[in-house]
Amino acid sequence: MSDVLSQLADVLEQRKQESPDSSYVASLYNKGLDTILKKIGEEATETVIAAKGGDKEQIIYEMADLWFHSMVLLADQGLHPDDILQELQRRFGLSGLEEKAQRTK
């Protein structure tokens, strides 16, 4: 499964070099962080609405959009999905309350 994330991360990284006229992702990078963040907010809202509606296919579709745009943000910030997977692995087996208490502020 993480192979797909790595492959997508590679493509997103390549899109940084492409023309905003020929690539949707390149156009997001070109427009800047605020546009990427706005897109994530839109996709998160659409995911919530899909979940409230209970349509599993729509939830999958919207969640894929949310993950995709979140990965655009990661690439924009010089991060890789492996960074997130490592953090999830670190948290695995901890209770949510315990993990939150361990965070530095």
What pLDDT does 105 receive? 60
With pLDDT > 70 as the criterion, what percentage of the chain qualifies?
97
What is the pTM assigned to this prediction?
0.88
Mean pLDDT of 63-73: 98
Mean pLDDT of 16-20: 95
DSSP 18: S
Tokens of 15: 């899109």
Which tens digit of pLDDT belongs to each residue from 76-105?
999 999 999 999 998 888 887 877 788 776
CA distances from 79 to 2, 21, 42, 71, 76 (A): 15, 25, 22, 9, 7
Please tell me the distance from the alpha carbon of residue 59 to that of residue 55, in angstroms, as a whole number: 6
Q: Is pLDDT at 55 greater than 70 in this prediction? A: yes
Helices then strands (H, E): number in the chain?
6, 0
